[in-house]
Amino acid sequence: MRDEGREIIGTDAIRAWKAETSAKYHVTAEPLESYADAGRTIVVAKVSGTFTGSPLRLTYRFGLSADGRIGSLAIQ
């Protein structure tokens, strides 16, 4: 996955990123819309927390693998 200009690869690394980010910024996300685009699932969410600029409107771009699991995620 890609977030804050860096790539996080592997299930364990992504779990660690999620735990670290949630604890550091007290993040909550409210989905606003979702749609499919070019084989990806796009979710736009209002993300709030203790970070500069909160709340932000972020776009999550999910790519699914053949088994239906998340194969890639980019957050902008």
Q: How many CB atoms lie within 10 A of CB 13?
A: 12
Taking the model in full, what pTM does it have?
A: 0.81
If one counts the domains in the chain, the total is: 1
Q: Please state the rounded mean pLDDT for residues 4-32.
A: 91
Q: By residue range, what is the domain housing residue 20?
A: 2-75
73 vs 33: CA distance, rounded Å: 17
The CATH number assigned to the domain holding 24 equals 3.10.450.50
The whole-angstrom separation of Cα 50 and Cα 53 is 9
Task: State pLDDT tens for residues 46-69.
Answer: 999 999 999 999 999 999 888 988
pLDDT at 1: 82
